[in-house]
Each structure stands twice: as C-alpha cells, then as structure tokens.
Amino acid sequence: MLILKVKNGKKILEKTAQLASQLKMEVFTVGGFVRDLYLGQEGTDIDFVVLGDAMEFAQAFQKQFRSGKVVTYPRFGTAMLHYRDYKLEFVTARSEHYDSRSRKPRVKKADLQSDLTRRDFTINTLALDITPAHFGRLINLLHGQEDIDSKIIKTPLDPAVTFSDDPLRILRAIRFATVLDFQIESNTYQAILDTRQRLEIISQERITEELRRMLLADQPSRGIYLMKETGILDIILPELTLLAGVDQRQDFHHKDVFDHTLQVLDNISPKTDSFELRMAALLHDIAKPQTKRFVENIGWTFHGHEDLGARIVGEIGKRMRLPLISIKYLQKLVRLHLRPMQLVDDSVTDSALRRLMVEAGAELEDLMLLCRADITSKNPLKVKRYLTNFDHVEKKMKEVEERDKLREFKLAIDGNVIMKTLDIQPGPTVGKIKDAIFNAVMEGLIPNQEEACFQYMLTIKDDYLKEIKKIDSE
C-alpha cells in the first residue's frame, strides 16, 4: 500500500473527509492533483469524486467552511468553488455516453471505478483515500501508476472511441506528452491519426486554450513536432506547416525554417512564462514561405517577411479568438523582430535608435528577448558575436534614453529667480549657481523641487557673490 504525503493541501482534504463523514458520503481526491502528487508536485486545483450528490456536498462545504460562491452544473452533477488559494471541483461519480455529433455526454450516476474509467488517460485515473484511517492511500484501479512510471500516455478504454467521443482529448494527449515528457502509446497514437478530423467539432476557444497550455511547457517544441507528425498542425495552424522544407541562409540559421522556429521557441521559453511572447517566437517567421527569393552569391532571401508576417499573424490571432491586445502585441513583435540587428553599426544615429524605442514602446524588452532567442547558429563563435552585437545595441539605447531624460529635465528653479533673489545682473555667475543646484539634484543631495532648490541656492550664494565683488573690485 502506497501512501502519498500531502503538505499544503492536507487541511483541505481533512476538512473534506470530515464533511463526508457527517453527510455519510464517500469522497475521493482524483485526477491531476493526485497524478502530480505522485510525481512529487502539489497543485492548487483539487478534484473530488463524490459517491452521492456532489452539488449538495459543495453547498454544505461552502456553508460549513465559509468558502467562495458555489457554481453548479446540474447536467453533469458538478460544482466548483474557491477556498483560500485553492480551486475545488466536486463531481458526482458518473458514467458517460456520447452522441457522435457532440462532445457533450449523457451522464448517469455510477461507482468510483466507473467514474475513473470515463477519464481521458490512465495517468489521470489515480485516486486518493482521504479518510482518517487511510489518509493518503493511493488507489490504482486502472494501472495509472504503472503508466506514469513508464512515462506512457494511454486511454483507459478503446482510444478510437475515447477520441471520437471527445476529440479535445487528442490535443490533451499531446499536451500531457509535451508537459510531462511522456510518450504516446502506439494504439493511442494510431487512434489520434484515425480520428483527428473530429477536431472540427471543437470550439476554437478550447483549441486555443490547449495550445496555450502546451506552449507553456518547459520544452514546447515537443508538442509542435507531435502535432506536425500527427497532421493536427495542418488542422489548427496550417500556416506553420508551410515553414517545413523552406531553406535559409546557412551562415545565420538552421537550414529549415520550421526547425529554426521551434529552436527559437525553446530558446525563449526559459526566459519567459508569457504565452504571448512564446507565441511571437512561434510565429515570427510565418511569412517566409511567401517571401522566399533566391539571390546569386547570397542565397535565399525573405525581404518583407516581417511586414507580411504581421498581417498574417493578425489573421491567425482573429481565428484563434485571441484578445485584440494580444493580437496587436504579436503583430508588433513580428513586424519589428529584425530591426535591432539592423542597428548594430556604430554609425547608426540616435534618431534611428529612438525610432525603434518609440515603436516598440513597452514591448522593447520582450522584443530584445525575441531577437536573442532568434540566434540559432550552431557555431558558438557566431552566437557569441551576435549576442555581443545585441549587447551593443542595448547599451546604445540606454545611452540615448539617458540623454533624452537629461534633455527633458527641467530644473525647478530658473535664472530669473536667482537674479531677482540675489539682486544680480545676467552673467556667468548666474549660470554657475544654476549648475551647482543642478549638480546637487543629480547627485541626490536635494530633490528637484522649487523650495529645496531655493534653500540650497541660499546656502551656496555667498561663495558666488564673493566672485562678483572680486571682479568688481578689480
């Protein structure tokens, strides 16, 4: 008997077990929380199977422990609520039957094993006993433990039926394989090939959400390669499949644009958890197939691919139902991703740097991350040179930014106040006093406020007034 140790969520499970005892119901923790716990991680989303009325149980939980509002889904016997930092879902143990035209099942009450059998993959069929006598006991009815140990993605039932009933599970299989670095079992893989066209009945919003979760994996390229191998990429992101087989200049990138793109995606992933920035990496060269031209002594060129790419990204973003702000972000990064490299030359003017800084705006840092990730040469000397060039560009931009700040800077006290207060005429001494006040502000001795500058002027005035008297006496 294997006992899993629960740390942060232990009190919640104990309270759930306490309530189950009071209501004379059996309740088990199931799904992703148990899977991750077995893998040594503990999440904050917890699913419970209730052998009884899950909605009644959730209402009782809310009343007894003063949790957040209960949201119920009577058709599926499901209730959700938030308690402290946790999202809890209570589901009435059920079996499911599907209509071929929809992924929404007909449900009826069932026992624990039937409920676990209806789940998508065996790795998600583990359950946890939360009763005081056996708290933490792992329940492994469908070989989920063995499949996790073997790093296998497999369905509890016939995979062809599983995917035909709910085609979204096709993308979930690829997502779990990507996130967990597992292999898809051969029969399950074949069923994906056989049923992939069923993805057409899935809403775009759900497809986009699965892609978002996939791209947030440690090495998201695994999922993109899997989607390409299975033909799913042709269905959900056909523009990306066109990159395969497109040659590039071999002195700068990998030969194939598709492989280069996925390397950029993996390069940027350790630097950011932003779905939008990772998506920009995935789409930054999306227009290269349409702009490919061969130039003698140079090789393949892709002039204008950044501008055309921004337009294509706009179309993709709309199709994926992305928010307008995300679409504009993606378009900006795709349109500008070549610009920093063009500013490496020492002869580049401040105005050219300033123009990029203004166009990139708040996304300048993300743009530079994308540009660095875009360096995929296998020659370490070239990589070092390109990175040094970007360091140089960033240094120049910081210098321009500092100069611009100084140009915009206005001292809180002007020469007229100095002349009127000290009763002196225009001349070098006024400038010297003003410079002294300016230096005091720059060094942090005083704030750039009118009263502070005025008082500082009074403390230093005598030294400068002596100079005037000395000049007058001469």
pLDDT tens string 354-385: 888 888 888 999 999 999 999 888 888 888 88
Last residue of a domain, one of 236, 252, 269: 236
**Can you tell me which residue has the tokens 């490496």?**
344
- Residues above pLDDT 90, as percent of the chain: 67
Residue 129's DSSP bridge partners are 28, 137
Q: How confident is the model at residue 255 (pLDDT cuts 50, 70, 90)?
A: low
pLDDT tens figures, 426-469: 988 899 999 999 889 878 899 989 999 999 999 999 988 887 76
Give the list of residues 6+ apart from residue 280 with CB closer than 8 angstroms, or none: 329, 330, 333, 334, 337, 366, 370
76-90, 137-151, 431-445: which has the minimum mean pLDDT? 431-445
pLDDT at 471: 59
52-61, 248-257, 259-268: which has the minimum mean pLDDT? 248-257
More confident residue, 263 or 427: 263
DSSP string covering 401-455: HHHHHHHH---SS-HHHHHHHHT--SSHHHHHHHHHHHHHHHTTSS-S-HHHHHH
pLDDT at 104 over 80: no
Q: Are both 295 and 353 inside the same structural domain?
A: yes
Q: Are both 156 and 75 inside the same structural domain?
A: no
pLDDT at 358: 82
Q: Are both 451 and 356 inside the same structural domain?
A: no
Residue 301's DSSP bridge partners are 293
Q: Are both 307 and 403 inside the same structural domain?
A: yes
pLDDT at 197: 95
Report the pLDDT averaged over residues 74-80: 90
What range defines the domain where residue 159 resides? 151-236
DSSP string covering 191-251: HHHHHGGGGGGS-HHHHHHHHHHHHTSSSTHHHHHHHHHTTHHHHH-HHHHTTTT-B--TT
Last residue of a domain, one of 368, 391, 407: 407
C-alpha 124 chain-centroid distance? 24
Q: Are both 74 and 178 inside the same structural domain?
A: no
Q: How confident is the model at residue 406 (pLDDT cuts 50, 70, 90)?
A: low
Q: Are both 369 and 435 inside the same structural domain?
A: no
Report the pLDDT averaged over residues 249-276: 85
Strand ranges, E, within 98-209? 106-109, 127-129, 137-139, 152-153, 183-184
Looking at the structure of the chain, the number of domains it has is: 4
Report the pLDDT averaged over residues 180-203: 96
CATH number of the domain to which 391 belongs? 1.10.3210
Q: Are both 141 and 205 inside the same structural domain?
A: no
Q: Are both 118 and 22 inside the same structural domain?
A: yes
pLDDT at 20: 95
Distance CA 221, CA 263 (A): 7
pLDDT at 443: 82
What's the token pair of residue 461? 């005035």
pLDDT at 102: 54
pLDDT tens figures, 15-31: 999 999 999 999 999 99
What's the token pair of residue 402? 């500092």
CATH number of the domain to which 158 belongs? 1.10.110.30
Q: How confident is the model at residue 248 (pLDDT cuts 50, 70, 90)?
A: low
Distance CA 253, CA 247 (A): 9
Q: Are both 137 and 60 inside the same structural domain?
A: yes
Report the pLDDT averaged over residues 40-68: 94
Q: Are both 278 and 226 inside the same structural domain?
A: no
* Most confident stretch, 261-265, 305-309, 345-349: 261-265
Last residue of a domain, one of 407, 439, 459: 407
pLDDT at 114 over 80: yes
pLDDT at 470: 64
| pTM assigned to the model | 0.80
Can you give 215-230 as a three-state secondary structure string?
Answer: HCCCCCHHHHHHHHHC
What value does the mean pLDDT of the chain take? 90
Report the pLDDT averaged over residues 187-192: 98
pLDDT at 356: 87
Q: Are both 107 and 177 inside the same structural domain?
A: no
Q: Are both 299 and 433 inside the same structural domain?
A: no
pLDDT at 108: 58
**Can you tell me which residue has the tokens 């624990």?**
112
Distance CA 390, CA 74 (A): 57
pLDDT at 209 over 90: yes
pLDDT at 101: 57
C-alpha 5 chain-centroid distance? 30
